[in-house]
Structures are given as structure tokens and as C-alpha cells.
Amino acid sequence: DAKTTQPPSMDCAEGRAANLPCNHSTISGNEYVYWYRQIHSQGPQYIIHGLKNNETNEMASLIITEDRKSSTLILPHATLRDTAVYYCIVREFSGSARQLTFGSGTQLTVLP
Amino acid sequence: DTGVSQNPRHKITKRGQNVTFRCDPISEHNRLYWYRQTLGQGPEFLTYFQNEAQLEKSRLLSDRFSAERPKGSFSTLEIQRTEQGDSAMYLCASTLGESSTDTQYFGPGTRLTVL
């Protein structure tokens, strides 16, 4: 699986959009971009995933650049409960059940 | 709530003791994963089951670790002769298994402290 690079920490004001960047410059054509988050002392929670098109669900939006070398997770109206470590993961679509390879993630702190 | 459950949530043991953790996946999920997470790090893959078959093991899974999923439902992870380096959060995840892009749903984890 391709490696990802994320900033170690970010702050965001409550009610504002949180934009979390991820670099995956070595991504290959059959690899998806996944985002998970982990609130302190809980298990990771799935947020969203995509291949090349932008995706949106009830939690967030995922914007993937045209060359697929980077992506941005957008939380449109951050709340204090969104404070968590956010992991960007690149995962191969191969027909085999691949495990997730987590990096160190970005600690997002939403400030009141 | 029909999410992934793990028991116990916390376990404190003395070095050299054996411990066993249990994971109950989401009903009808046929793939089950174990991960380990140490402080300040992301989770690391340990092993994976497709139904009752253990199909992959990480090199992190030393011979003191054993995992089972006897009837393809719940799974247990046993650590024999625990060491202080085994102190970590042990996470379980499950997926339906119909697609390689299946979402993995995680349990709350079991936090192990070895004294």
C-alpha cells in the first residue's frame, strides 16, 4: 500500500470547516483513499473512502486531486466532538481482504 | 447496539501471566481482524480470519500470541507469559466480506497493562 503523509496536528474553531490534508504521491491506480478517526480511548471509526471522484456522506466530504496524489477531508461544521486523531489510509483494491495500514494521523483539536 | 464488542475493556496483569481477550463481531460479518495500538501510534495489524480460518499473521504476532475463531463467530486472542512490552490497546474489527473494499468496523478495544 502507498504511504501517506499527514500533518501531526491541526486546530479548528468550532462551527468552522476543518480541512485535513493528506499526501499520497505514490498512490497507484487500484488504490483507494480511506479516512478513519479515533476519539480518545475509543476504536477507530470509519468516515469515508474514495477512488478518484469526490465523495460526500453525512459525516464529511472527501476531495481527491485529479492526479490522485493528495486528498482533503472536509468536516463542514466542526464541533467539539470532532476532536480526534484522523487517519488517511491508502488501500489496494485487489480482491483480497487487506488489512488497514495506519500511520500516525493528524490530531485535530476543535476549539470553542 | 449491534456493533463490534470486546471484553474485557481493561485488563491489568502481572508479568508472566496469561491473558485472553474476546471479540464479538457484527452479526454475519465473516472477516475479523485483530490490531494492536501502543501509545501515540496508529493501530498495527496482528492477524485476520475469514470465517474460522486464520489466513494471515503479522510478524508482530510472536509465538506467545494465539488467536482463534472456532465457529466463525466470536474470536479470542491469548497472550502467554505476558511482558511489559505487551502493554497496549488490542482492537478487533470486522467486515461483511463481500468486497475487498468492505468497511472495517472497530470495537472499543481492550486496554492491557502489564505490571
B1 band by pLDDT with thresholds 50, 70 and 90: low
Place of cell 483494491: A93
pLDDT at A75: 97
pLDDT at B102 over 80: no
C-alpha distance from B86 to closest chain A C-alpha (Å): 17
Q: Do A97 and B42 touch (CB under 8 A)?
A: no
Q: Do B100 and A103 touch (CB under 8 A)?
A: no
pLDDT at A60 over 80: yes
- Separation of alpha carbons A109 and B33, rounded Å: 29
Residues of A in contact with B34 (CB under 8 A): none
Task: Choose the mutation target among A4, A45, A100, A106 for the interface with B, i.e. most B CBs under 10 Å.
Answer: A100
Residue in chain A lying closest to B6 (CA): A43
Tell me the helices (H) and strands (E) count for chain B, helix number first.
0, 11
Backbone φ and ψ for B90, nearest 5 degrees, come out as -105, 120
- Separation of alpha carbons B61 and B88, rounded Å: 13
What does DSSP assign to residue B86?
G
Q: The C-alpha cell of B102 is what?
A: 468492505
pLDDT at A98: 73
pLDDT at B37 over 90: yes
The minimal CB distance from A43 to the residues B42, B101, B109 is found for B109
Instruction: Select from B102, B95, B75, B91 the least CA-distant residue to B30.
Output: B95
The 10s digit of each residue's pLDDT in A74-98 is 999 999 999 999 999 998 765 555 7
Task: Choose the mutation target among B26, B58, B106 for the interface with A, i.e. most A CBs under 10 Å.
Answer: B106
